[in-house]
Structure 1
Amino acid sequence: MSVPQTPHIFGANTTAAEVIDGVDLHGRRAVVTGASSGIGVETARALAAAGADVTLAVRDTDAGARVVARLEAELPSKSGQLTVGRLDLADRSTVAAFVAAWHGPLDILVNNAGVMAPPELIRTPDGRETQFAVNHLGHFALAVGLHPALAAANGARIVSVASIGHLFSPVVFDDLDYRYRPYDPWTSYGQSKTANVLFAVGAAERWAGDGITANALMPGNIADTSLARHMDMQQVADFIASGELALPPQKTVEQGAATSVLLAASPSVEGITGRYFEDCAQSEPVAERAGAVAGVAPYALDPENAARLWAVSEALVR
């Protein structure tokens, strides 16, 4: 059965600038995590160009300040204000500090930051496996902490940047931190990206009454981003040769940010929530994961999995 498609004129080659063209975000406030590089920069650029006041939530505030200076020089004068906030998703104290410093409504939260496939097992200071902790738990704590601000906006949107990598693994609830099984960088990445999708499903269920929508997305196979800095390229080549991994066609950074911007700001997705998008459209379910270059695994949209993950996450960040 096919998924009903949102009416749109966008596709795989659409850029963030094309998505935002004609959208007016003046008076809106946005937070974009990981906005010091890659598609985070382009997401912040597009939202600011439409008039939103955008906070770049980043680990390296000096790098964030350089991005702000560059964007301010490039954007037109009627663009929104750009600011930088310190946020390290692996450090719970910085998440709490960011939340405590936020005042007033928040219209758009783009959970964009992430880490991908470090070859060795790394744990955060509180003992969590890093990919699950950064990609999911840090963003979960941030969104829950900012929930009052999102609810106050009367129509807020949460955008959860996931990946086709969610097909590598469901969330393994019995061993989230690789204490009882050998660490694998790709199944670890996969479960963290599945968690990103399940978070959107869970937030859509819980926060609809607050006027909040939440959706997840696959940005694409993006060329030249720092996300791939940990990747073992020989391992990637071996995966492709084995048929376990297939990569969709490459996108530019500007194209890679398009689906994030669509979900953050486009009128065409007004009211849509709890879904997974790619190439600026809702994704089809995928039956066979090996070798798939598109689609969403049914376990990533399962409401029972989402409810279980929400309860576990609450306990872990408490």
Structure 2
Amino acid sequence: MSSRITTPFGAESTAADVIDGVDLHGRHALVTGAASGLGLETARALASAGAEVTIATRRLDAAETAAKAIAESTGAATHALRLDLADPESVREVIALWSGPLQILVNNAGVMATPEERTPAGRELQFATNHLGHFQLALGLQQNLKDAGSARVVVLSSVGHTNGPVRFDDYDFTRDAYDPWLAYAQSKTANVLFAVEAAKRWKADGIAVNALNPGRIWNTGLGRHIETPPQSFDPSGTTGVSEKTVEQGAATSTLLAASPLVEGVTGKYFEDCQEAEPFTPGVRRGVADYAIDPENARRLWDLSLELMSTEALS
């Protein structure tokens, strides 16, 4: 069995720490949901190393404001696109607009614990936004990633994935009562499973795909649907988990997107800038067995293709 991948960075490292000394000139990066929070900090870090960064968010004006701020602070070329991950047509428009190689794709955007809501196609909103939209985006840009020669796809998951697997028999909550946290857990498990399967399918194309848990960062837009974290998510003194700043929360994303320390690493799940240990019940960290199970990954890929095809025909 291969040894766990480690780096000199840890839970208190920031995106600026990780990107220090890295040269990304000549590389293009697309970061979803980067108008604020972790995405903005990740995009800023990549731009500070010379990458040409495109910010894709649901509100174009917010993307333009963020892109302008990053350009002014880093001197890097930045761009803004409108992207609504819950709308397949919006995803198709972004794919059609992209031209040329893409070295870095950061699937950062997400929603958490939303009230029950469905897309026009009937998909549960968190599954549609956090997984299906990013699945469609990555598949649509696969050739651009391949053309880059050595590309990286970074997928933001969460320790929340340990609260539940993908509900293959009721992923849209049409049979059981909707639970916002189970829906969130499912979508975050799907993020990890996507990385597992995409890494296998795209390795020959030179595309590395990894997922991560950024840590506990509550002061971002992701938590706008909750007043306080649920009790089950509140770490006790025995968990060794503490709340991070946005700068610290973006460190692992930045590491996987840009650091030479993880060159060639693919199909892994990271947290605190290290490959994660297996999940232990009662400890709010680690990766659940069902989230890295190859059969679950293959099954989700097939389901996602089916749902994407259905929506394309609707």
Deviations 1:124-162 (A, max 9, x none): 111100000000000000000000100101110000000
How far is the alpha carbon of 1:313 from its aligned partner?
A: 0.1
- Pick closer, same or farther for the CA change 1:275–1:81 going to 2, 3 Å: same
1:126 pairs, out of 115, 121, 126, with 121
Q: Aligned partners of 2:299, 2:39: CA distance in 1, in Å?
A: 29
SS in 2 for 1:251: coil
RMSD of Structure 2 on Structure 1 (CA): 1.7
1:154 aligns with 149
Report whether the alignment pairs 1:236 with 2:230.
yes
Report whether the alignment pairs 1:45 with 2:44.
yes
Report whether the alignment pairs 1:297 with 2:288.
yes
Q: Aligned partners of 2:287, 2:150: CA distance in 1, in Å?
A: 26
Report whether the alignment pairs 1:314 with 2:308.
no
Q: Aligned partners of 2:218, 2:302: CA distance in 1, in Å?
A: 36
1:272 aligns with 265
1:82 aligns with 78
Q: Which amino acid aligns with 2:230?
A: V
- Pick closer, same or farther for the CA change 1:174–1:9 going to 2, 3 Å: same
Q: Aligned partners of 1:255, 1:146: CA distance in 2, in Å?
A: 29
SS in 1 for 2:143: helix
- Unaligned residue ranges in structure 2 (runs of 5+): 310-314
1:98 pairs, out of 75, 94, 100, with 94
How far is the alpha carbon of 1:5 from its aligned partner?
A: 3.2
- Pick closer, same or farther for the CA change 1:204–1:240 going to 2, 3 Å: closer
Q: Aligned partners of 1:179, 1:219: CA distance in 2, in Å?
A: 31
2:312 aligns with none
Within 5 A, what are the aligned runs for 1:16-27? 16-27=15-26
Report whether the alignment pairs 1:112 with 2:108.
yes
Q: Aligned partners of 2:123, 2:233: CA distance in 1, in Å?
A: 29
Deviations 1:25-59 (A, max 9, x none): 00000100000010000000000010110100111
The answer on whether the counterparts of 2:38 and 2:249 sit within 8 Å (CA) in structure 1 is yes
How far is the alpha carbon of 1:67 from its aligned partner?
A: 1.1
How far is the alpha carbon of 1:241 from its aligned partner?
A: 7.8
Deviations 1:107-135 (A, max 9, x none): 000000000001x3100111100000000
Q: Aligned partners of 1:117, 1:89: CA distance in 2, in Å?
A: 16
SS in 2 for 1:149: helix
How far is the alpha carbon of 1:4 from its aligned partner?
A: 2.3
Report whether the alignment pairs 1:165 with 2:165.
no
Deviations 1:52-76 (A, max 9, x none): 101001111111111122222222x
- Pick closer, same or farther for the CA change 1:73–1:16 going to 2, 3 Å: same
Q: Aligned partners of 1:114, 1:90: CA distance in 2, in Å?
A: 10
Q: Aligned partners of 1:113, 1:221: CA distance in 2, in Å?
A: 16
State the TM-score, normalizing by the size of structure 2.
0.94
1:262 aligns with 255
> Percent identity of the aligned residues?
56
The answer on whether the counterparts of 1:13 and 1:251 sit within 8 Å (CA) in structure 2 is yes
1:285 pairs, out of 263, 266, 278, with 278
How far is the alpha carbon of 1:183 from its aligned partner?
A: 0.5
Report whether the alignment pairs 1:176 with 2:171.
yes
Q: Aligned partners of 1:81, 1:240: CA distance in 2, in Å?
A: 39
- Pick closer, same or farther for the CA change 1:95–1:8 going to 2, 3 Å: same
SS in 1 for 2:96: helix
The answer on whether the counterparts of 1:221 and 1:247 sit within 8 Å (CA) in structure 2 is no
State the TM-score, normalizing by the size of structure 1.
0.93
- Pick closer, same or farther for the CA change 1:90–1:241 going to 2, 3 Å: closer
Q: Aligned partners of 2:207, 2:117: CA distance in 1, in Å?
A: 34
The answer on whether the counterparts of 1:12 and 1:279 sit within 8 Å (CA) in structure 2 is yes
1:199 aligns with 194
1:211 pairs, out of 199, 206, 209, with 206
SS in 2 for 1:217: strand
The answer on whether the counterparts of 2:235 and 2:242 sit within 8 Å (CA) in structure 1 is no
The answer on whether the counterparts of 1:200 and 1:215 sit within 8 Å (CA) in structure 2 is yes
Within 5 A, what are the aligned runs for 1:58-73? 58-73=57-72
2:180 aligns with 185
